[in-house]
Structure 1
Amino acid sequence: MKHSLYMSLAIGIAFTISSCSNWLDVQPKTEVKQDKMFETESGFKDALVGCYMLMGDASIYGRELTYTFLEVLAQQYEFVNVYNPYQNVKLYSYSTSNVESIISNIWSKQYKVIANLNAILEFIEYKKNILHPVNYANIKAQALGLRAFLHFDLLRMFGWGDLVNTPSNLDKLCIPYVTKYNKETTKQSTVREVLQYIHADLEIAEELLAYNDVYHQKTQDDDYELPNDDGFYDAPRGFFNYYAARATQARVYMWEGNYEAALERVSFFTKSPSPISWVNLDRSVINATPTTRDLSFTPEHIFSLDVHNMYEALKSYIEQFKTQSGLTVTENSNYFFHTGTRADELFEITAGGGNDVRYNYLYDQVDRQHYLFLKLKEEPETQSASKNKMPLIRKPEMYYYAAECYNQLNDPKKAINMLNEVRLARGIDIKDNLPETLTKNEIEQEITKEWRKEYIGEGQMFYYYKRLGLMIPSASVEGDKAFILPLPRTEVELGGREDYKDDTEL
């Protein structure tokens, strides 16, 4: 795999943080050769920020891996007609040109970020003497954590899932785990090997962050200091922080079916008091104005991206009408929606779900045929805390993992308690709590229901179905024909990769 020897990054922000801007609220402006970039401590910070901004590109987490591509694969949306640009995605027509292009861009952009992270990791050891020890530890930890995070999502797309029921998948070939910053091609690894590499990176990242990041999970020595005159650490949820490291470890353990280890990781978030609070429904949603409502529930973000002008890449898939100069021009046929019937069934409004804040405030209930999604919609002149924030990991996921772990480990009451806590946090009345008499199979069904209610527009349901080997509702194909993305054609024809997805065999 060949990588450019340039770092994509923002210039001129290192020590010019204003009150209306921060390290992540900037646009990429240029490219700088890496030997110039790493001459100063601020250069390392700029390089890391550049990686976060690359992650916010619409071809990956700014749209495709959150609101559009992965969600369409999970059959999360209704379309106006068959001319929607994601129609071929909905049909899993991976060999059509437009779908091939989406997949190729995902692959190349993910590995571009990884290449830049590897450059940071390489040069930070050479230039360790110019960095404050705490900055050295935090930058290194974030780079390692992001490298694991990005590779894990590549594995979840291009690799194999359902490892509990099909352990032989562990030894199947999948993606390359790239750890060197050079032009040499990294060989593909098996699922087992990739997971081992991910664990290794996350373990180092977590250890460094536990002592050095802003959440201080380990007691600091008397001479510890967090140098923050430039405001670099002012928005920790927008960086790969200690909480993100633990939550990502939980995701990986769940993918492996290691329920004991996953439960230990998520118990950090489900304990009382939790380090991550629930959104205040009265203040931030119910009694807030349309321009101040926080519909992605930012207090619950464990890790999110600050994406410059995020809504521009999303609006044609959210808004029902196109506008020009503030005037409605014509109906937009690309937007996604639910029908009223689907929404009623999803949120179980006849069984207490009518009080669910997600049903009442995260839909624009235009008419019974069109329930549009508001979670990521940006109102004109918005002052919402959720503006330009793309959630990548949120608190409810940890509770759903805990419920699944307790259920698998034969502690059904605790499993049900985990689900009920989220339901209460969403405004469902305590009288409509799930009963403690549910069987193991019934709890599994309830967990799936709760995932489907909570994770609309965030790119997580495709991974959920794939991890457990579940049939995607309304999908036109089953199993690995849907779940395994083919390698980009150039990787096979020019890069010498083995394309292990063969539609004639799956």
Structure 2
Amino acid sequence: MIRILHSFILAGILILSSGCVKKWLEMEPKSEVSVDVLLETPEGFSIALNGIYTNLSSYTLYGGELSHGMVDVLARCYDLKNTMYDQLKNYDYVSAGMEQRINGIWALAYTTIANCNGLLMEMEKKSPGFFRAHERARLEGELLSIRAMLHFDLLRLYAPAPAVRDAVSIPYYTTLTHIPMPEKATSEILQLVMDDLKKSKDLQKEYDTDNEAREIFHKYRFRSGVEQDPFGPGKRAFRMGYYATTALLSRVALYANNKPVAYSNAMEVINDKTGAEPTITFTPSTLVDVGAYDRLLSEDLIFVLYRKRFEYDFNKVIFLLPNTNQIFGSDLNSDYRKKCYLSNNGRQLLKYDTTQDREGDITGAIPMFRLSELYHIAAEVLYDTDPDGALGMLNSLRAKRGNTVPLPGVPDKNAFLNAIINDARREFVGEGKLFFLYKRLNKTILDETNGNQTLTEKFILPVTER
């Protein structure tokens, strides 16, 4: 029987390409509840789903390695010396400790995928009246989106980018099974990811996009309102809801070079309105100028994860930036991101600093999707047909981050991509986005301290325990 440990569904990792299957995890927790008991009520499914989100927030996944940790070290964001990342900053994937940590991401991601599939299968066993309509749709949609996100990030870590080759890469699991699934080509994996996300959008659209839901999302996405219903609309930014799923579909489609889908989904979120106001907007200058901002500039966050003791884990390493002046250039004194994300001298990353009282409820948030990324995606796609419109969109984003002097015209697409990369380096430091941006474009990783890296094959992390 599968057991519940502190709200986790524990399922063994099932997937090894060698044909070897890892056993189910056998654990003896002090307090445990069987699946049959926990899932007697819809609320039990919500508790089990919370366990899946806790997995996502772990340091092995998005609470560390896939945010400010491993992938940002690979993107040469930091000036690190005598840290646990010393081998990794030189793209040494096999030294003591590195191999285990890389394998750990693979293992926990597929365990969490198994958890998602296990819950989906348990949902199928329930009678039609067990869930209220929106409960079932929301649960199924979130589980499909989480499953898709994990497969996508496994693909981005452990397989070549589509711009390089369509290689046989990873398995895709849609059921809880002890039978290892075959590895599929990158193009097949991307299509399966997009299929899951499109289905999730269909399931969650009615619940998340009526006028009341939009208003609640705008106001309460990081906190609860008066309701205490575990299926209620409060704190939807901590869930893979409709807007998060739409943002992820845009990201995936761009990676797959499906530009129409990437653009339409990006613009759907950018243009979404609650009455006359954008449902998701940006932290205004009126807050930044008076020091009332939170360091995450959280107004444009679409989806975040929450992990307790975040500061403790973050402060295991002091993350110093070696090249702030070069990244910000003439915008050094105007760009909010330098003021809010970094220390006064621009050297230390303070996005997750919890010492400021103004941080409030957002302190524990791990950024997963921002509206700013959708501006980048839409602008990149738009450049092919409307270069001036694309530049205008990028300048609009820059203005929302305090840069009053617009970028001048760029001579070609490559120059425009370099402008997006520069903006992304300001925007996403500490959030695990830059390595994947370089990889998708097959670009040289930038480091102004004589450390530029042309990686190509080293963009692919090795897995020795599949």
Decide: shared fold, TM above 0.5. yes
> How far apart, CA to CA, are the structure 1 residues paired with 2:457 and 2:211?
45
What are the within-5 Å matches in structure 2 for residues 133-282 of structure 1?
A: 133-161=133-161, 163-164=162-163, 166=164, 169-170=165-166, 172-213=167-208, 229-233=228-232, 234-271=234-271, 273=273, 274-282=278-286
> How far apart, CA to CA, are the structure 2 residues paired with 1:268 and 1:245?
12
Corresponding position: 1:6 with 2:7: no
Q: Secondary structure at the match of 1:344?
A: helix
**Residue aligning to 2:120:** 121
**Residue aligning to 1:112:** 111
Q: Secondary structure at the match of 1:103?
A: helix
Shift of 1:375: 1.1
Shift of 1:481: 2.9
- State whether residues 395 and 407 of structure 2, in contact with CA within 8 Å, keep that contact through their aligned partners in structure 1: yes
What are the within-5 Å matches in structure 2 for residues 467-486 of structure 1?
A: 467-474=440-447, 478-486=454-462
What are the within-5 Å matches in structure 2 for residues 278-317 of structure 1?
A: 278-283=282-287, 285-288=288-291, 293-317=293-317
- State whether residues 403 and 419 of structure 1, in contact with CA within 8 Å, keep that contact through their aligned partners in structure 2: yes
**Residue aligning to 1:365:** 344
Cα deviation code 1:412-456 (max 9, x no counterpart): 111111111111111111xx1112465433222211111111110
Shift of 1:476: 7.2
Q: Secondary structure at the match of 2:347?
A: strand
Residues 1:421 and 1:390: Cα distance change in structure 2 (over 3 Å): same
Q: Secondary structure at the match of 1:147?
A: helix
Cα deviation code 1:2-56 (max 9, x no counterpart): xx93344439xxxxxxxxxxxxxxxx99553322222111111111111111111
Residues 1:485 and 1:7: Cα distance change in structure 2 (over 3 Å): farther
> How far apart, CA to CA, are the structure 1 residues paired with 2:30 and 2:284?
37
CA-atom RMSD in angstroms:
2.5
Q: Secondary structure at the match of 1:299?
A: helix
> How far apart, CA to CA, are the structure 1 residues paired with 2:149 and 2:139?
15
**Residue aligning to 2:54:** 53
Length-normalised TM-score, structure 1? 0.79
**Residue aligning to 1:96:** 95
Instruction: Figure out how many residues of one structure are paired with residues of the other and give that number.
Output: 426
Q: Secondary structure at the match of 2:355?
A: coil
> How far apart, CA to CA, are the structure 2 residues paired with 1:258 and 1:29?
49
Shift of 1:127: 1.2
**Residue aligning to 2:16:** none
Residues 1:174 and 1:33: Cα distance change in structure 2 (over 3 Å): farther
Gaps of 5+ in 2: 9-28, 215-225
Corresponding position: 1:420 with 2:419: no
Q: Secondary structure at the match of 1:458?
A: coil
Q: Secondary structure at the match of 1:364?
A: coil
> How far apart, CA to CA, are the structure 1 residues paired with 2:357 and 2:419?
39
Residues 1:361 and 1:381: Cα distance change in structure 2 (over 3 Å): closer
Corresponding position: 1:411 with 2:386: yes
Q: Secondary structure at the match of 2:391?
A: helix
**Residue aligning to 1:441:** 414
> How far apart, CA to CA, are the structure 2 residues paired with 1:490 and 1:9?
27
> How far apart, CA to CA, are the structure 1 residues paired with 2:321 and 2:250?
31
> How far apart, CA to CA, are the structure 1 residues paired with 2:237 and 2:213?
18
**Residue aligning to 2:85:** 86
Length-normalised TM-score, structure 2? 0.86
Shift of 1:380: 6.2
Amino acid at match of 1:266: A
> How far apart, CA to CA, are the structure 2 residues paired with 1:262 and 1:101?
35
> How far apart, CA to CA, are the structure 2 residues paired with 1:380 and 1:462?
29
Cα deviation code 1:87-143 (max 9, x no counterpart): 111111111121111111111111121111111100101114321111011001100
Amino acid at match of 1:39: E
Cα deviation code 1:230-283 (max 9, x no counterpart): 254310010001111111110111101122221111111333754311112332
- State whether residues 297 and 386 of structure 1, in contact with CA within 8 Å, keep that contact through their aligned partners in structure 2: no
- State whether residues 72 and 432 of structure 2, in contact with CA within 8 Å, keep that contact through their aligned partners in structure 1: yes
- State whether residues 294 and 358 of structure 2, in contact with CA within 8 Å, keep that contact through their aligned partners in structure 1: no
Taking only the aligned residue pairs, the percentage that are identical comes to 27
> How far apart, CA to CA, are the structure 2 residues paired with 1:338 and 1:479?
21
Amino acid at match of 2:145: G
- State whether residues 7 and 116 of structure 1, in contact with CA within 8 Å, keep that contact through their aligned partners in structure 2: no
Q: Secondary structure at the match of 1:72?
A: helix
Corresponding position: 1:130 with 2:145: no
Amino acid at match of 1:345: Q
Q: Which of 336, 339, 360 is the equivalent residue of 2:319? A: 336
Shift of 1:463: 0.4
Shift of 1:295: 1.2
